[in-house]
Amino acid sequence: MQRYAGKTVLVTGAAGGLGSAMCLRFAAEGARVAALDVDNLRLETACAQWRELGHNIRPFLLDVTDASAFKRQVESIVEEFGRLDVAVNNAGMGGDMAPLAEYPLATWERVMSVNVSSVFYGMRAQIPTMCKQGHGAIINVASIMGSIAMPSIAPYVASKHAVVGLTKGAALDYGRAGVRINAVGPSFVRTGFTASSLPDDSTWDALADRHALAGTASPEDIAATVAYLGSEDARFVTGALYLVDGGYTAT
Ligand SMILES: NC(=O)c1ccc[n+]([C@@H]2O[C@H](COP(=O)([O-])OP(=O)(O)OC[C@H]3O[C@@H](n4cnc5c(N)ncnc54)[C@H](O)[C@@H]3O)[C@@H](O)[C@H]2O)c1
């Protein structure tokens, strides 16, 4: 499938587990991909892997918590590529695990900055070009925690509910301008993100048991849904949270 031939796609948190799979999926479908991440070393390593697989994915350094840097970086990508068809605001972090009253204040502020403000800054930078073009699609990476909760991670849960809220609000603001804005909600995927909080196989086996489908999601499962939401196949889909959770939240 070459749904993205001639299109430009931007992905943040691109050097991470989900972001890297998204970059590869978009590139495999013909897109020119701008891969943004704050971690230079991770980005270089990911780039080397992408090149080995034959994909020309362009790396860009960006801290998504810096609103003016985000705007400048999007503008320079648009100048270089001539357009911006799809943007995936994927960069995110987990934070600490503690009951709310014991949760470190500094981590609360960091989680809200990296997970929520970044999506606000990103959309503010991406939407003007899409409005000028008369089309565009944004996918914000939320989580099942944008829909349900778990103990000891209230700030993360709040941040992902906020991502869903920003997604719905912005979708209403820009639908008539031809810009579709959706969120994707993965359950548990093995990446660097989950490596520290869910280190052992027995925890993953227990989690897998709580899904209706067998096993847990792969990064490629999430990338496939993101690629659908960015494409013309989803031309009448906006303001939605697409859960990719193997039925985890259906219980
Ligand atoms: N892995 C899961 O189980 C899971 C489940 C639900 C939702 N998510 C969400 O998916 C997204 C990606 O997670 P992942 O599993 O690929 O994690 P990951 O840790 O593998 O990747 C995250 C990437 O974001 C980058 N990043 C962090 N802070 C940044 C900043 N300030 N500016 C730019 N880049 C920054 C990191 O350098 C890293 O490359 C996150 O938003 C996360 O909340 C993950």
CB 24, CB 47: distance < 8 Å = no
Question: For 218-241, what is each residue's pLDDT tens digit?
Answer: 999 999 999 999 999 999 999 999
Ligand 1 atom 43 nearest Cα: 92
Q: Name all domains of the chain by residue range, CATH numbers in brackets.
A: 8-191+219-244 (3.40.50.720)
Which of these, 151, 164, 160, lies nearest to 103 by C-alpha position?
151
192 lines ligand 1 (CB under 6 A): yes
Ligand 1 atom closest to Cα of 114? 31
143 lines ligand 1 (CB under 6 A): yes
146 lines ligand 1 (CB under 6 A): no
User: How far is ligand 1, taken at its centre, from the CA of residue 93, in Å?
Assistant: 5
Instruction: Indicate which residues carry an active-site annotation.
Output: 156
Q: What percent of the chain has pLDDT over 90?
A: 96
**135: pLDDT strictly greater than 90:** yes
Q: What pLDDT is recorded for position 186?
A: 98
Side chain identity, residue 23? C
User: How far is ligand 1, taken at its centre, from the CA of residue 176, in Å?
Assistant: 31
Ligand 1 atom 38 nearest Cα: 16
**210: pLDDT strictly greater than 90:** yes
Q: How confident is the model at residue 196 (pLDDT cuts 50, 70, 90)?
A: confident
Task: Kindly report the number of other CB atoms within 10 A of residue 176's CB atom.
Answer: 8
Average pLDDT, integer, range 150-168: 98
Q: Output the average pLDDT for the chain.
A: 97
Average pLDDT, integer, range 61-75: 98
20 lines ligand 1 (CB under 6 A): no
CB 142, CB 179: distance < 8 Å = no
Q: What pLDDT is recorded for position 77?
A: 98
CB 7, CB 86: distance < 8 Å = yes
The secondary element (H helix, E strand) that includes residue 109 is: helix 105-112
Q: What pLDDT is recorded for position 56?
A: 82
CB 95, CB 69: distance < 8 Å = no
108 lines ligand 1 (CB under 6 A): no
Ligand 1 atom closest to Cα of 64? 32
141 lines ligand 1 (CB under 6 A): yes
Q: How confident is the model at residue 146 (pLDDT cuts 50, 70, 90)?
A: very high
Ligand 1 atom closest to Cα of 20? 16
User: How far is ligand 1, taken at its centre, from the CA of residue 154, in Å?
Assistant: 18
Place of tokens 């068809």: 85
**195: pLDDT strictly greater than 90:** no
Sheet with strand 86-89: strands edge to edge: 57-61, 32-37, 8-12, 86-89, 136-141, 179-186, 241-244
